[in-house]
Amino acid sequence: MIAETAPASIVAPAGHDDDRTRDRVARALHEHGPQSAVTLSACFGLTPTAVRRHLDALIAAGRVSAVAERKVSGQLRGRGRPARVFALTDEGHSSFGHAYDDIAVAALNYLKATGGETAVTAFARERLEALEARYAATLVDVPADRRPAGLAEALTADGYAASSQHAGTGVQVCQHHCPVAHVAADFPQLCEAETEMFGRLLGTHVQRLATIAHGDGICTTHIPLVRSAQEPKAHPISRPTTSGEVLA
């Protein structure tokens, strides 16, 4: 349980180096989603204790909160208290300017003006090609009914803080962080290209139910129930060409 009042040593004015380190920690949470103190310590070459000191200061400032870790469907948790990870609060997210987002939006507006909607769609698909190739290599030997969980694990490793869970007639893959949410709010082609990629990786039609870009808390993708591991795969994983044509 995080104490409601931080120790005096935490709330005391921080030096320049402390401020810089805390900004780096906050930026890591901004770019990669919720992280544990141990994961952050490995990123910055600090001890977990040192990282927790900076996290406590960020919590006291209202920029970070401690939340229960969401486990990918199928993973087992040991006994005891749920693991805790650290995430930016709304105030923490708002402390980062969107200069890069503004540049990206300006560039895509120019692309749209000079090449039309098809040029934006082609760009959205092309930017995901390397990612899709990497995920396809990871999932190629995974049974169809385990691919949603495998995809969630791969997304989590890339900072999307994803999870999968059974829901109704299928499985839902949820992404709790989106690095391009502000850009995708103006250019839904980015979300559409990602949804298409998920469909190819999972070998079935998928449906986007919610996106962070459109004001939802998480991006939710619904995957209908897939064939069991004993049945032949109906759709092999395929990769797109730069033109958007799909090759098996």
Q: Hey, where are the domains in the chain?
A: 8-94, 99-247
Q: Is the pLDDT of residue 74 over 50?
A: no
Average pLDDT value for the chain: 80
Q: Tell which wins on pLDDT, 118 or 215.
A: 118
* % of the chain at pLDDT higher than 70: 77
Each residue's pLDDT tens digit, 133-170: 999 999 999 999 999 999 999 998 887 889 999 988 89
Q: How far apart are CA 85 and CA 33, in angstroms?
A: 10
Identify the helix (H) or strand (E) that includes residue 18: helix 16-32
Each residue's pLDDT tens digit, 173-232: 999 888 888 899 999 999 999 999 999 999 999 999 999 888 887 899 999 975 544 444
Q: How far apart are CA 233 and CA 90, in angstroms?
A: 43
- Residue 214 CA neighbour count, 13 Å, CB half: 12
Q: What pLDDT score does 174 carry?
A: 93
End-to-end CA distance of the chain: 51
Burial class (CB in 10 A: 0-12, 13-18, 19+), 68: exposed
Each residue's pLDDT tens digit, 19-32: 888 888 988 887 77
CA-to-CA dists, residue 149 to 34, 71, 146, 170, 212, angstroms = 19, 10, 6, 12, 20
Q: What pLDDT score does 158 carry?
A: 83
Q: What pLDDT score does 13 carry?
A: 43
Each residue's pLDDT tens digit, 85-97: 898 887 787 776 6
Q: What pLDDT score does 99 carry?
A: 66
Q: Tell which wins on pLDDT, 72 or 78.
A: 78
Task: Give the CATH class of 99-247.
Answer: alpha beta
CATH number 1.10.10.10 is the correct assignment for the domain at 8-94? yes
